[in-house]
Amino acid sequence: MKQKEIRIGMIGYQFMGKAHSHAYRDLPFFFNTKIKPVQKAIAGRNESAVKEAAEKMGWESYETDWRRLVERDDIDVIDIVTPNHTHAEIAIAAAEAGKHIITEKPLALTLEEAHQMYEAVQKNGVTHMICHNYRFAPAVQFTKKLIEAGRLGRIYHFRANYLQDFIMDPQFPLVWRLKKEVSGTGALGDIGAHSIDLARFLVGEFKEVVSIMETFIKERPMGEMSSGLQAKSNNSTLGEVTVDDAALFLAKFENGALGTFEATRFAGGNRNKNKFEINGEKGSVRWDMENMNNLEVYFANDEPGLQGFRLINCTEEIHPYAGAYWPSGHIIGYEHTFIHLVHEFLNGIANNYQPEPNFKDGLKNQQVLKAVEESAELKQWVNIAEQ
Ligand SMILES: NC(=O)c1ccc[n+]([C@@H]2O[C@H](COP(=O)([O-])OP(=O)(O)OC[C@H]3O[C@@H](n4cnc5c(N)ncnc54)[C@H](O)[C@@H]3O)[C@@H](O)[C@H]2O)c1
């Protein structure tokens, strides 16, 4: 098959920069794609750091101003892996320049920005996607198939916990994720947004929510994040934490199902425990990112005496994406979820359809985020349709 090349320009190059760069590199190795991604250029503000990142992660060139990347004629896709407050400005400029766009989550800082971003991509007819990568674990995709095939029947409960602990030390510095003007919300938008996306993907649209949010450590040493989720500061000056450390909420879905959600970075011992359980009239499923290849499944019509959760290792040919890799039982990991997402994105461009999740999903997710914040403030149920 003759492959068309599509030239990627990526803005930002740390945690998610590494995950996306790897996805572009490995996609053509494992999947037969109509389009081959070319890592054309990355942008960052610090020349020596961006040059080093370009060399390390396989990018042909670099820019020190993202605007220059958006203007370049030899770039077809803009990939945004910068903090949340930059997403709207970059995405709108990229859409106006006719570039296809993939952006990290949450879509924007505010719902207003999210609306503007969605309008811009629609007006300019570009392909767009938001990086809710956990949808793309084979076990999660297989859960979707089970639900669509009616194997769980009517869904009663969606129960999600997204638990981390990387900021529990009060000396952990005031990184961008803890500043409202840069991140929008705290645990809610950073990790709760993923649970919201999984719920929308697997159960359906949210109807209303009621929540509580808390900031346990109100001041922290000023300092910047060094890499990934790790950070240190030698600064004794304290700054105010302006986002939530934990967000808990209940939800009603349009289809009558009930949801319980917990997003916290204060769950000691839980590094990236992104879990859900779904209970339906005919069966249940459980998934946990830290054992992402496995799915626990229970069917109510199993023989009496043998009923209970069975453990499925989702590495068989029949499990979505798994067949592209290794023989059964030879597991895959976190980075593969990004390969699958990029695969869908490039398929969308090649075959002229809007892949999911896209900016519309990002916008709907942002409506839920806003409703959760509002509910915590008002101490009452908030309807999503009123956002
Ligand atoms: N999909 C996921 O599971 C997941 C995981 C982590 C982060 N994220 C999202 O990815 C985005 C980036 O997070 P991260 O963890 O990679 O952050 P990070 O701090 O590791 O990296 C941010 C990058 O953006 C650059 N940057 C910062 N401000 C900039 C600006 N004004 N202009 C240009 N470049 C700028 C930094 O130099 C750095 O390269 C965020 O939106 C975050 O919510 C998603």
Q: Is residue 349 one of the residues assigned to a domain?
A: no
Cβ(15) – ligand 1 distance below 6 Å: yes
Distance in angstroms (rounded) separating the CA atoms of residues 138 and 135: 8
Cβ(83) – ligand 1 distance below 6 Å: yes
- Angstrom distances, CA of residue 333 to CA of 24, 270, 273: 16, 18, 14
Under 8 Å CB-to-CB from 52, ≥6 apart: which residues? none
Any idea which residue has 């990627």 for tokens?
8
C-alpha 256 – ligand 1 centre gap (Å) = 36
Cα 15 off chain centre by: 13
Same domain, 238 and 125: no
Distance in angstroms (rounded) separating the CA atoms of residues 74 and 93: 16
Q: How many residues does the chain have?
A: 387
Q: Is residue 383 one of the residues assigned to a domain?
A: no
Q: pLDDT at position 224, please?
A: 67
Same domain, 213 and 251: yes
Which residue's C-alpha comes closest to atom 25 of ligand 1?
12
Identify the segments of the chain with pLDDT beneath 50.
Answer: none
C-alpha 181 – ligand 1 centre gap (Å) = 14
Q: How many CB atoms lie within 10 A of CB 353?
A: 11
Cβ(64) – ligand 1 distance below 6 Å: no
Nearest residue to 249 (alpha-carbon basis) of 386, 376, 111, 384: 376
Among 112, 133, 154, residue at a domain's last position: 133
Q: pLDDT at position 34, please?
A: 87
Q: Which atom of ligand 1 is nearest to the CA of 194?
A: 3
Phi first, then psi: what are they for 280, rounded to 5°?
Answer: -120, 175
Total tally of structural domains belonging to the chain: 2
Distance in angstroms (rounded) separating the CA atoms of residues 336 and 334: 5
Q: Is residue 385 one of the residues assigned to a domain?
A: no
Q: What is the CATH number of the domain that holds 286?
A: 3.30.360.10
Q: pLDDT at position 226, please?
A: 61
Same domain, 125 and 271: no
Residues forming a β-bridge with 163: 264, 273
Same domain, 166 and 236: yes
Under 8 Å CB-to-CB from 327, ≥6 apart: which residues? none
Pocket test residue of 67, 82, 338 for ligand 1, highest count of atoms within 8 A of CB = 82
Same domain, 162 and 74: no
Under 8 Å CB-to-CB from 126, ≥6 apart: which residues? 94, 95, 98, 99, 100, 101
Burial 282-317 (b: 16+ CB within 10 A, else e): ebbbbbbbeebbbbbbbbeeeeeeeeeeeebbbbee
Q: pLDDT at position 236, please?
A: 81
Nearest residue to 185 (alpha-carbon basis) of 116, 245, 250, 273: 245
- Angstrom distances, CA of residue 241 to CA of 173, 230, 365: 10, 17, 24
Same domain, 126 and 142: no
Same domain, 162 and 300: yes
Q: Is residue 351 one of the residues assigned to a domain?
A: no
Same domain, 167 and 104: no
Q: Which atom of ligand 1 is nearest to the CA of 190?
A: 43
Nearest residue to 151 (alpha-carbon basis) of 337, 355, 299: 299
Among 108, 133, 158, residue at a domain's last position: 133
C-alpha 177 – ligand 1 centre gap (Å) = 9
Q: pLDDT at position 3, please?
A: 79
Distance in angstroms (rounded) separating the CA atoms of residues 262 and 230: 23
Q: Is residue 9 one of the residues assigned to a domain?
A: yes
Same domain, 268 and 176: yes
Q: Is residue 352 one of the residues assigned to a domain?
A: no
Cβ(45) – ligand 1 distance below 6 Å: yes
Any idea which residue has 């892949």 for tokens?
355
- Check whether the bond before 221 is cis (ω within 30° of 0): no
C-alpha 82 – ligand 1 centre gap (Å) = 3
Under 8 Å CB-to-CB from 66, ≥6 apart: which residues? 11, 43, 82, 90
174 secondary structure, DSSP code = B
For residue 19, what are the domain limits?
4-133
Same domain, 127 and 215: no
Q: Is residue 386 one of the residues assigned to a domain?
A: no
Q: What is the CATH number of the domain that holds 24?
A: 3.40.50.720
Cβ(44) – ligand 1 distance below 6 Å: yes
Same domain, 296 and 165: yes
Q: Is residue 354 one of the residues assigned to a domain?
A: no
Same domain, 112 and 174: no
Among 133, 162, 180, residue at a domain's last position: 133
Q: Which atom of ligand 1 is nearest to the CA of 338?
A: 1
Under 8 Å CB-to-CB from 211, ≥6 apart: which residues? 247, 248, 249, 250, 372, 373, 375, 376
Cβ(81) – ligand 1 distance below 6 Å: yes
